């Protein structure tokens, strides 16, 4: 049976050097970046429309080595028939993973929190407020530390770094005098720096007004508990332009793909009188040297039609378990401004409204796919502990089985701006949008390994063929889910598209009754591909009622 498929749009492949998909004139592409072509594949949540391109050049061979490969765009779709790219939201556990228990947390757990996994330890730094609202004082918060052996049950150690209300039995690491500063809404984010000496391997990006210097700063630590200021003002903004500040969880990490530090930070655009919160990006070979915020290109921001919508923190990550994969979780903030909703015909609450978390993915951390901007972490049902906001915090960690991943989000039954003043509380209560229990906690999310996006085929079947690949290893494993009724086969083809004897689609053992993250592929019982290593080959996948998340060649 001949293989019938259409070519995937070439600009979406690995050869693309497009830098940003923000279409407005305010962010654009950085200098020297080629603009994205006008003709593109059309993305729908779970639906992909491809257009054939005539006269395509002979494709280059992509060296995948023995690295994990995930699906984000058309990189592995030289030809595709009747398949879609499906984004999979995580499963909410309903856990109140971290919730207020102590006096220094009684105002709730804040969204400027993050997790990371190091060796056998799970670390969390979370923002805790000790008063119930802004009207009780701005310097009312701290950054606290928690630890876990499994990412599920967390412990708040008594660190004794500072006295709070007469006792040192607390887990405060910064704020209320710890490290010599007080905190209010200042955000912090911790990452491991592979270039740092042991005494500075933990870095915290933060903005502290008490430091007496503008912009973002870096704190350093050997253990994530004892911190010191090491780098002042690594990023600033032009203060003579109004409406710019860095109140957000700004993100920084070392990107080994480009051997640079990458910064995702807040940039205000202020169109139409609203803040226009957006996510901007910059990179630097050193701990500093970033351009001023106003000169950074916007990655995610309000677009035409987003009259009352902007985008808060990004929680951007470089995915650690696959090649060329970056994920972002921008928080969509719907403002209850005048005219936005009928409940406020005359007076609107100040800077108030709900937030949920969306999803974006990228091959290079600059050109982002947004998949129709559907919610990735949705608001809960009215009355549930996360019906007011669902804001992803930074960090992705493995579960202890190696088959799953954990993410965490700040869940609350109150809207952004609820605690600003009594007028906001009155207006929101009268509109039926007030907080019922004043809950603000961290909750855990679960997703299968590599599980953000899959190639999906319906029961009628679908196929895709890759460009030529060069690999290392002797076996091919798949992260796939056929459940009960689905099937999957893989055929190996030469660079010219002809089947390789012994490894054709028809000779592949049927993969069925499968929900595995490392399912070995066999051809008439033989998994050994060693004789084909380092040769250009194409993979042909045939699926029916199945999801394919990732593939990898292994020894």
pLDDT reading at 52 higher than 80: no
Q: What integer best gives the mean pLDDT of the chain?
A: 87
Residue 554: phi and psi, rounded to 5, are: -135, 165
The kind and range of the H/E element at 427 are helix 422-430
Assess contact for 160 and 168: CB atoms under 8 A: yes
Determine whether 459 is exposed, middle or buried from the number of CB atoms within 10 Å of its CB (0-12, 13-18, 19+): exposed
The model's confidence at residue 364, banded by pLDDT at 50, 70 and 90, is very high
| pLDDT-above-70 percentage for the chain | 86
pLDDT at res. 132? 55
**d(C-alpha 446, C-alpha 398), whole Å:** 10
**d(C-alpha 324, C-alpha 364), whole Å:** 6
| pLDDT-above-90 percentage for the chain | 75
pLDDT reading at 151 higher than 70: yes
Residue 199: phi and psi, rounded to 5, are: -75, -5
pLDDT at res. 240? 81
pLDDT reading at 188 higher than 60: yes
The SS3 call for residue 9 is coil
Question: For the residues 471-497, what does the mean pLDDT come to?
Answer: 97
Determine whether 61 is exposed, middle or buried from the number of CB atoms within 10 Å of its CB (0-12, 13-18, 19+): middle
CB-based burial, 169-198: b 16+ in 10 Å, e otherwise: ebbbbbbbebbebbbbbbbbbbbebeebee
pLDDT at res. 131? 77
The model's confidence at residue 58, banded by pLDDT at 50, 70 and 90, is low
- Cα 219 to chain centroid distance, Å, stands at 23
CATH T-level assignment (fold) for domain 6-88+453-554: Jelly Rolls (2.60.120)
pLDDT reading at 405 higher than 60: yes
More confident of the two residues 420 and 524: 524
Question: For the residues 369-386, what does the mean pLDDT come to?
Answer: 96
Closest CA to 184 of 266, 276, 112: 112
In the block, tokens 């905190």 appear at 183
**d(C-alpha 435, C-alpha 24), whole Å:** 36
pLDDT reading at 211 higher than 50: yes
**d(C-alpha 21, C-alpha 215), whole Å:** 27
pLDDT reading at 198 higher than 60: yes
pLDDT reading at 475 higher than 70: yes
More confident of the two residues 180 and 12: 180
The model's confidence at residue 274, banded by pLDDT at 50, 70 and 90, is low
The model's confidence at residue 273, banded by pLDDT at 50, 70 and 90, is low
pLDDT reading at 45 higher than 50: no
pLDDT at res. 11? 30
**d(C-alpha 93, C-alpha 116), whole Å:** 19
Assess contact for 468 and 62: CB atoms under 8 A: yes
Question: For the residues 426-432, what does the mean pLDDT come to?
Answer: 94
Neighbours of 112 (CB within 10 A): 26
Handedness of CA 269, 275, 279, 281 (dihedral sign): positive
Question: For the residues 522-547, what does the mean pLDDT come to?
Answer: 97
**d(C-alpha 252, C-alpha 121), whole Å:** 21
pLDDT at res. 209? 66
The model's confidence at residue 428, banded by pLDDT at 50, 70 and 90, is very high
Residue 523: phi and psi, rounded to 5, are: -120, 110
Structure token pair of residue 13: 């492949």
Longest dimension (CA), the chain: 79
Question: For the residues 290-308, what does the mean pLDDT come to?
Answer: 91
pLDDT reading at 394 higher than 50: yes
Provide the residue count of the chain: 555
Structure token pair of residue 98: 């971290």
**d(C-alpha 144, C-alpha 127), whole Å:** 6
The kind and range of the H/E element at 423 are helix 422-430
**Beta-ladder partners of 117:** 122
**Distances from the Cα of 230 to the Cαs of 172, 199, 206, in angstroms?**
20, 11, 12
pLDDT reading at 331 higher than 90: yes
Residue ranges covered by each domain of the chain = 6-88+453-554, 91-448
CB-based burial, 410-437: b 16+ in 10 Å, e otherwise: bbbbbbbbbbbeeebbebbeeeebbbee
Residue 460: phi and psi, rounded to 5, are: -75, -10
pLDDT at res. 30? 31
More confident of the two residues 37 and 493: 493
Neighbours of 510 (CB within 10 A): 11
Residue 60: phi and psi, rounded to 5, are: -80, 160
Question: For the residues 139-145, what does the mean pLDDT come to?
Answer: 84
Structure token pair of residue 215: 């912009």
pLDDT reading at 48 higher than 50: no
The SS3 call for residue 36 is coil
The model's confidence at residue 419, banded by pLDDT at 50, 70 and 90, is confident
Residue 57: phi and psi, rounded to 5, are: -70, 160
First to last CA, the chain: 33
The model's confidence at residue 60, banded by pLDDT at 50, 70 and 90, is confident
User: pLDDT tens, 84-102?
Assistant: 999 999 999 999 999 999 9
Query: What letter does residue 59 receive in the DSSP assignment?
Result: P
**Beta-ladder partners of 411:** 390, 441
The DSSP annotation for 135-177 comes to GG-SS-EEEEEEEESSSSSEE-----SS-BTTB--S-EEEBTT
Assess contact for 308 and 337: CB atoms under 8 A: yes
Question: For the residues 408-425, what does the mean pLDDT come to?
Answer: 93
Structure token pair of residue 87: 């984004």
pLDDT at res. 271? 66
pLDDT reading at 133 higher than 60: no
pLDDT reading at 476 higher than 50: yes
The domain over range 91-448 is classified in CATH as 3.30.530.20? no
pLDDT reading at 15 higher than 80: no
Note the pTM of the prediction, 2 decimals: 0.90
Strand boundaries in 373-439, DSSP class E: 389-392, 397-398, 404-412
Handedness of CA 492, 496, 500, 505 (dihedral sign): positive
User: pLDDT tens, 457-469?
Assistant: 999 999 999 999 9
Question: For the residues 214-238, what does the mean pLDDT come to?
Answer: 94
Question: For the residues 218-242, what does the mean pLDDT come to?
Answer: 92
The model's confidence at residue 40, banded by pLDDT at 50, 70 and 90, is very low
Assess contact for 476 and 519: CB atoms under 8 A: no
Residue 349: phi and psi, rounded to 5, are: -65, 155
**d(C-alpha 100, C-alpha 438), whole Å:** 11
């Amino acid at each position: 049976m001949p293989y019938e498929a259409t070519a995937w749009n070439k600009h979406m492949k690995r050869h693309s050097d497009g830098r940003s998909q923000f279409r407005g004139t305010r962010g654009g592409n950085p200098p020297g970046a080629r603009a994205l072509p006008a003709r593109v594949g059309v993305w729908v949540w779970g639906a992909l429309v491809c257009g054939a391109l005539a006269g395509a050049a002979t494709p280059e061979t992509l060296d995948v080595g023995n690295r994990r490969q995930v699906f984000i765009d058309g990189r592995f779709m030289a030809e595709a028939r009747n398949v879609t790219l499906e984004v999979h939201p995580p499963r909410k556990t309903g856990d109140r993973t971290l919730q207020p228990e102590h006096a220094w947390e009684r105002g709730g757990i804040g969204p400027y929190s993050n997790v990371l996994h190091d060796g056998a330890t799970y670390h969390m730094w979370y923002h805790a407020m000790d008063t119930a609202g802004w009207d009780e004082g701005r310097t009312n918060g701290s950054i606290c530390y928690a630890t876990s052996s499994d990412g599920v049950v967390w412990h708040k150690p008594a660190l004794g770094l500072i006295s709070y209300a007469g006792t040192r039995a607390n887990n405060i690491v910064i704020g209320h005098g710890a490290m010599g500063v007080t905190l209010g809404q200042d955000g912090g984010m911790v990452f491991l720096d592979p270039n740092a000496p042991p005494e500075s391997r933990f870095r915290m990006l933060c903005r502290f007004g008490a430091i007496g210097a503008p912009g973002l700063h870096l704190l350093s630590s050997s253990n994530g508990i004892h911190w010191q200021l090491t780098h002042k003002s690594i990023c600033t903004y032009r203060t003579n332009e109004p409406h710019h500040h860095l109140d957000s969880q700004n993100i920084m990490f070392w990107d080994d793909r480009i051997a640079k530090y990458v910064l995702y930070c807040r940039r205000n655009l202020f169109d139409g009188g609203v803040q226009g919160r957006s996510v901007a990006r910059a990179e630097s070979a050193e701990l500093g040297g970033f351009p001023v915020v106003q000169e950074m290109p916007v990655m995610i921001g309000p677009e035409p039609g987003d009259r009352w919508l902007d985008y808060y923190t990004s929680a951007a990550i470089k995915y650690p378990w696959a090649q060329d994969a970056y994920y972002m979780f921008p928080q969509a903030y719907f403002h209850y401004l005048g005219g936005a909703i009928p409940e406020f015909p005359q007076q609107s609450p100040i800077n108030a409204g709900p937030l949920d978390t969306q999803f974006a993915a990228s091959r290079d951390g600059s050109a982002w796919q947004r998949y129709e901007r559907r919610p990735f972490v949705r608001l809960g049902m009215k009355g549930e502990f996360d019906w007011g906001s669902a804001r992803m915090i930074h960090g992705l960690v493995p579960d202890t089985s190696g088959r799953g991943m954990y993410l965490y989000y700040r869940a609350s039954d109150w809207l952004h701006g609820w605690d600003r003043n009594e007028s906001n509380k009155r207006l929101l209560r009268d509109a039926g949008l007030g907080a019922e229990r004043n809950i603000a906690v961290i909750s855990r999310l679960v997703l299968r390994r590599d599980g953000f996006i899959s190639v999906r085929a319906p029961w009628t079947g679908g196929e895709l063929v890759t460009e030529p690949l060069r690999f290392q290893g002797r076996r091919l494993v798949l992260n796939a889910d056929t459940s009960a009724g689905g099937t999957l086969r893989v055929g190996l083809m030469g660079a010219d598209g002809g089947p390789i004897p012994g490894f054709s689609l028809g000779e592949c053992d049927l993969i069925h009754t499968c929900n595995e993250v490392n399912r070995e592929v066999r051809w008439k019982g033989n998994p050994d591909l060693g004789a084909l290593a380092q040769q250009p080959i194409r993979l042909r996948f045939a699926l029916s009622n199945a999801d394919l998340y990732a593939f990898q060649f292994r020894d």
